[in-house]
Chain A
Amino acid sequence: MTEKPKVGVYVCHCGINISATVDVETVADYALKLPNVEVARTYSYMCSDPGQVLIKNDIKEHGLNRVIVASCSPRMHEPTFRKAIQEAGLNPYYLEMANIREQCSWVHEDMEEATAKSKKLVAAAVAKVRLLEALESKEVDAEPAALVIGAGIAGIQAALDIADAGFKVFLVEKTPSVGGRMAQLDKTFPTLDCSACILTPKMVDCASHPNIELLSYSEVEEIGGYIGNFDVKVRKKARYVDFDKCTGCGDCAAECRVKDRFPSEFDQGMGKRSAIYLPFPQAVPAKYTIDPESCLYLTKGKCGKNPKCQEVCKAEAINFDQEDEIVEFKVGAVIVATGFDPFDASRKPEYGYADYPNVITGMEMERLVSASGPTGGKVTVFNGEEEIEPKEIAFIKCVGSRDASVGNEYCSRVCCMYVAKQAHLIRDKIPDANIRVYYIDVRAFGKGFEEFYDRVRRENVRYIRGNPSEIFKRGNKLVVKVEDTLTATPLEDEVDLVVLGVGLEPRADMREIMDLLRLSQSPDKFFLEAHPKLRPVDTATEGVFLAGCCQGPKDIPDTVAQAKGAASSAMIPLARGKVMISAQVAEVNEATCRGCGFCVNICPYTAVELVTINRFGHEVEVARVNEALCKGCGSCSAGCLSDSIQPKSFRDYQILPQIAALGVLK
């Protein structure tokens, strides 16, 4: 630091976002009196092109070597202004931002107070910026491969896009087959495309694509490293079936001693499966899996004389000695596409989902109307006495959505339309059925949605505005107790079947992925994106992207669009082949380090190690930082006994003057 700091302070009006509450001219005048400040200006939009030009010209004309922008959060525009001053020939790390919008003008009402606070924030920024150091970002190679977690439609689409662009993709799916929730659906709204018909070709593609390594029935165990260089460990769970030998003929399932005894996950528990099973006929890969929790041999150690499946399998694929396998690989980017859980309707006990067999959820209805479902597409229900074809059918919307009593204030975005679609499908199958839909609002916002909703109403489906309070049994009928709020009429509606339009919830097991990748949740508990408007597929963790319903409820077109967005974002580091790693890492002053090793123990990334150096003829141990591993958190520094290890840009001598400026200036 030989040259004298020459600071330029730029106070942004941000239209009136800042200037309505903060007297920006006063702040600039005040800044001009602070030590080392050469120039202080205000401008309506500092981030705009003329605003940036203003800064660049001043750097050249006044020979500025430090810049302060007092505007929005550094989380918003720090990269913008770093780039701007770099273009004017300054080191990009000679920038400090004073956050006078998000943390001042937007949260305070009194102009005097907000202006005084802005002055202090600018003074603290000046105190720090004078002591900032020039840093060089380093480039490291990026592994030209991606990891996609979850193989529903989002994961499949993202994997296909990345693989088609020529990069290797590891597609990890927890269940035995790819396809996810979309595979369970019968038709898709509003076009009534057969869900399986449009999905299965993609499922087959992703299994046969030369660039995709499909790891089904597998779970990600560990992810280390950073953007460009993630180290991934995946557990391939034992299927007890030799993957290469199994031909998918199904003889084993047909002969299983506990054949068709267990609720099929794919059929929402309405159909049955054997202990050895294929989740559904079009499953990819078409390989059988033995469920270790239901197989007689694996639970009791005995299955007749010999396990039947083993006897009948001509390919000799059954292998009870198979063990979980750990696969390790490296990728440059990660896409999280873990999907959602349907709302558990038993959490609304007033609707009797747990008590009455003829109260079912939308997902169960989906399987009931599906030609590949447990009834072959025939809509029948058990009303407690007998199996009947329902004639009086009620749908209830917003079950588990827009409902603070269950903690879900959000709209699930798909229920309005899937209810309309199911009403249409039932009208097709049972033309004389009396169908009504109880709703709070109808949200038919997407392309072709309103038209479809209109069509369904014309098909004699009655929409009744009211949120049912209770469902109870009367004889062999169900009674829906509700008030028609448009006519203020209390109703007791007797029906044969109630379909609950359940909403979408974050997956119960999302915590595992959060911990693996350091992701956050938004207030609705879905994964939090980096910016709700401008970075909707990014996360706070660089190189990790979101696709599909794990980020929030969405329909299939939106999911596919987001998956394509995540794929293209993930391909940026892969295509460049290089990634910038942060220059804000820790550094050791080897002259004062006493080699105690506290920092080595503190560092969560094993980025610090002790090395032996020669200090004036003596062999001594000192700490040394591996810059590729260090993420610059600074935990080591706060634990250092001699203040020898310091994160760059957040050194003691850079933070203490900030504290002094904020403290002294009352």
Chain B
Amino acid sequence: MSANYEPNIVAFLCNWCSYAGADLAGTSRVHYPANIQVIRVMCSGRVNPLYVMNALQQGADGVLISGCHPGDCHYMEGNFYARRRMGMLKDLMEFVGVDPKRFHMSWVSASEGHKWKEVVEKTVEDAREAGPFEGFRRRQIDW
């Protein structure tokens, strides 16, 4: 692992809570690492577990999914689905040998700009410890 390795994090944020919380972090000028790139979805329940695998395969070193607090979902129960799916995915990832530190799930509400900063810092720090991810690279096939 090179000393100046910077992990590349892809984050999926629900529109109503976490994305708004990340916006609030911006409005409040809370600073956090630039390693994180956000993809906005309407609900954390939209995130197909395969997106996580896909992100790791495409070159992400860590993935974060963040939604509304349990019970506060704008769509009533989408974050419960997300929680189940991602819990299962996490077990599966451990089983196939992916460091679970690469994968985080959090609940950040629209008013939790500071919590968003903490979540990002933790995610980046864990991904940094886990090192560059090479596990799912597509094999070069010579014909």
Contact = CB atoms under 8 A, between A and B. Distances in A.
Interface of A: 73-76, 99, 101-104, 106-110, 113-114, 116-117, 120-121, 124, 514-515, 518, 520-523, 528, 540-541, 584, 602, 604-605, 631-635, 637-639, 647, 650, 652, 655-656, 658-660, 662-664, 666
Interface residues of B, number: 54
A662 B55 CA distance: 8
B22 A635 contact: no
A647 B46 CA distance: 9
Given A106-B27, A650-B42, A528 B48 contact: no
Contacts of B58: 659-660, 662-664
Contacts of B112: 523
B75 A652 contact: no
Given A106-B26, A116-B34, A639-B81, 8 more contacts: A103-B25, A518-B74, A633-B78, A637-B48, A650-B46, A656-B51, A662-B10, A663-B55
Contact of A659 (B55, B68, B76, B82): B55
A652 B111 CA distance: 29
A277 to B, nearest CB: 36
Interface string B132-143: 000000000000
A107 B110 contact: no
A103 B23 contact: yes
B12 to A, nearest CB: 9
A121 B82 CA distance: 24
6 contacts: A73-B26, A76-B23, A518-B75, A520-B111, A659-B10, A663-B10
Closest 7 CB pairs of A and B: A102-B26, A663-B58, A634-B46, A635-B45, A663-B59, A633-B75, A633-B43
B19 interface: yes
A637 B15 CA distance: 17
Interface in B83-117: 85, 109-112, 117
B109 A634 contact: no
Interface string B33-77: 110011111110111110100110111100000001001111111
Nearest to A515: B71
B30 to A, nearest CB: 6
A658 B26 contact: no
Among B8, B43, B49, find the residue whose CB has the most chain A CB atoms closer than 10 A. Answer: B43
Nearest to B79: A635
Chain A contact residues, majority secondary structure: helix
Contacts of B8: 662-663, 666
Contacts of B20: 75, 540
Among B8, B31, B58, find the residue whose CB has the most chain A CB atoms closer than 10 A. Answer: B58
Nearest to B81: A635
Among A120, A655, A656, find the residue whose CB has the most chain B CB atoms closer than 10 A. Answer: A655
Contacts of A634: 41-43, 45-46, 78
Contacts of B43: 633-635
Contacts of A604: 75-78
Nearest to B59: A663
Given A75-B20, A109-B31, A635 B75 contact: yes
B60 A662 contact: yes
Contact of A528 (B10, B39, B111, B117): B111
Given A99-B38, A666-B59, A638 B45 contact: yes
B40 to A, nearest CB: 7
A540 B34 contact: no
A383 to B, nearest CB: 45
A139 B94 CA distance: 48
A655 B39 contact: yes
Contacts of B73: 518
B124 interface: no
B111 A521 contact: yes
Contact of A522 (B40, B48, B68, B111): B111
B39 A659 contact: yes
Contacts of A663: 8, 10, 55, 57-60
Contacts of B39: 124, 655, 658-659, 662
B71 to A, nearest CB: 8
Given A650-B46, A662-B39, A540 B23 contact: no
A520 B54 contact: no
A602 B33 CA distance: 36
Contacts of A121: 37
A583 to B, nearest CB: 13
Given A659-B51, A659-B54, A664-B59, A102 B23 contact: yes
Nearest to B116: A107
Contacts of A666: 8, 59
A253 to B, nearest CB: 42
A479 to B, nearest CB: 41
A319 B68 CA distance: 47
